[in-house]
Amino acid sequence: MGTYATIIYEKKDKVAWITLNRPKVLNAINLVLTHELLEALEDSRCDERIHTIVITGAGERAFSAGADINEFRELSVASRIGDKGRIRPHYLIREIAKPVIAMVNGLALGGGFELVLACDIAIASSGAQFGLPEVRVGVIPGAGGTQVLTRLIGDKKAKELILTGQPISAEEALKLGVVNQVVAPDKLKETVEAFIDLLKNNGPLALGLAKIAINKAQETTLSTGLSYESDLFTICIATEDAKEAATAFLEKRPQA
């Protein structure tokens, strides 16, 4: 692991912890942070020792307030077109065949909210807020907000949130299915760690393929998705992981 200017990247007990580390600007996402987050995610993806990835924000006020407006004002059409072919953290998270958890400790706005939407599981502090305020600066969400949020909560509610730019509370996000759990701020990390413990004894290959299959369900027809699921199931049963998991289950012991 290298030295980073805008994130903190740590590995412990098969978990990669990535902390967006620009608390003075509410962990706003600039180009440096984007590149460093991509690097950390790619490293976590390739490290066979890593079972789960957690993304959070430094400080108590924000997970991430979204794009750094100072850089945003300098964007041009030409630079945006040139950037389109590059993979973004939001997209890479969906492709990583490992569980990625958002530990949301405060504001999650714009690109920060889109990071949460990209993650597989989201556990939030009761003080967290979520929103896509891009229309207030004359643009639309550009990292999955219009597509992922609509699939998650339906077009009517997605239009309300995107067209008004108004934030919602953690409790409303829970009701809409945007987050999985809402807990007191002082219980946030231990709740995430308890959730990670639920995953640790599950086969990493099965977890990864299950994630990919579920993501596929949002992109294709039912018949195509069922065929894809069957193919992935066949891959699973041919592995040593599956044989060991079945043996451990029958012997009532943890997996080796």
Q: List the catalytic residues.
A: 114, 134
How far, rounded to the nearest angstrom, does the alpha carbon of residue 127 sit from its chain's CA centroid? 19
DSSP secondary structure of the chain: ----SSEEEEEETTEEEEEE--GGGTT-B-HHHHHHHHHHHHHHHH-TT--EEEEEESSSSEEE--B-HHHHTT--HHHHHHHHTS--HHHHHHH-SS-EEEEE-SEEETHHHHHHHHSSEEEEETT-EEE--GGGGT----SSHHHHHHHHH-HHHHHHHHHH---EEHHHHHHHTS-SEEE-GGGHHHHHHHHHHHHHTS-HHHHHHHHHHHHHHTTS-HHHHHHHHHHHHHHHHTSHHHHHHHHHHHTTS---
